[in-house]
Amino acid sequence: MSVLDRKLLRDLVRIKGQVAAIVLVIAVGVMLQVMMSGLVASLSETRRAYYERNRLADVFAPVTRAPETVLARLAAIPGVALLDGHVTGGALIDLPGEAVPIQARAISLPDRGEPVFNIVYRIAGRLPEPGARDEALLLAGFADAHGIVPGDRIAVTLNGARRKLLVTGLAESPELLFVAAPGEMVPDPARYGAVWMPRAALAAAYDMQGAFNEALIALGRGASQDAVIDAVDRVLAPWGGTGAYGRHDLVSDRFVTEEIDGLATMSRAVPPLFLAVAGFLLYIVVNRMVQAEREEIGLLKAFGYTGHEVGAHYFKMVLAVALMGAALGCVLGILAGRAMVPLYTTFYNFPFLVFRPDPAAFGIGVTASVLAASAGGVFVLRRVFRLTPAEAMRPPTPPDFSRTLNFSGVAARAFDQPTRMVIRGVARAPWRALALSAGIAGGMALSSGMTTIYGSFDRMMALAFTVIDRSDATVFFVQPLGMTAAHDLARMEGVIAVEPFREVPAVLRHGLRTHRGSVSGMIAAPEMARAIDADLAPIDLPERGIVLGEALAGILDIRPGDMLQVEVREGRQPVLEVPVIRVARSLIGAPAYMRMDALNRALAEPGRISGVRMRVDSDRAEAIYDDLKNRPAVAAVSVAETARASLQKLMDQGAGSARYIMGAVAFIITFGVVYNAARIGMNERARDLASLRVMGFSRGEAGFVLLGELAVITLVALPVGSLAGWGLSFAIARGFSSELYQIPTEFDPFSHGFAAAFVLGAALVSGLLVKRDLDRIDLIAVLKTRD
Residue predicted with more confidence, 311 or 578: 578
Q: Given a cut of 50, is residue 408 above it in pLDDT?
A: yes
pLDDT at 139: 93
pLDDT at 787: 45
Interatomic CA distance for residues 523 and 526, integer angstroms: 6
> Pairing mode, if any, of strands 161-172 and 192-198?
unpaired
Report the candidate in 617, 642, 636 with the shortest Cα–Cα distance to residue 93: 636
pLDDT band at 149 (very low <50, low <70, confident <90, very high): very high
pLDDT at 402: 56
Q: Assign residue 165 a region: left if phi > 0, alpha if psi is -120 to 50, beta otherwise?
A: beta
Report the candidate in 4, 103, 11, 24 with the shortest Cα–Cα distance to residue 673: 24
For the ranges 159-173, 249-263, 611-625, the lowest mean pLDDT is seen at 249-263
H or E element: which one contains 59?
Answer: strand 59-67
For the ranges 397-406, 527-536, 729-738, the lowest mean pLDDT is seen at 397-406
pLDDT band at 739 (very low <50, low <70, confident <90, very high): low
171 SS3 class: strand
H or E element: which one contains 699?
Answer: helix 699-736
pLDDT at 398: 59
Q: What is the pLDDT of residues 336-354, one digit of tens each?
A: 888 888 777 777 788 888 8
Interatomic CA distance for residues 181 and 191, integer angstroms: 7
Close Cβ partners of 248 (under 8 Å, ≥ 6 residues apart): 254, 257
The radius of gyration of the chain's CA atoms, rounded to the nearest angstrom, is 34
- Residues 269, 261: contact at Cβ < 8 Å? no
- Residues 528, 471: contact at Cβ < 8 Å? yes
Give the percent of the chain with pLDDT over 70. Answer: 83
DSSP state of 508: E
Q: Please state the separation of Cα 698 from the chain's center in Å.
A: 53
Close Cβ partners of 675 (under 8 Å, ≥ 6 residues apart): 17, 18, 21, 762, 765, 766, 769
Q: What is the pLDDT of residues 643-677, one digit of tens each?
A: 777 777 766 665 555 556 666 766 776 777 777 76
Residue predicted with more confidence, 663 or 310: 310
Residue 100 to residues 148, 631, 767, Cα–Cα distance (Å): 18, 12, 58
For the ranges 186-190, 203-207, 747-751, the lowest mean pLDDT is seen at 186-190
Report the candidate in 64, 90, 74 with the shortest Cα–Cα distance to residue 214: 64
Q: What is the pLDDT of residues 561-590, one digit of tens each?
A: 999 999 888 878 888 999 999 888 877 778
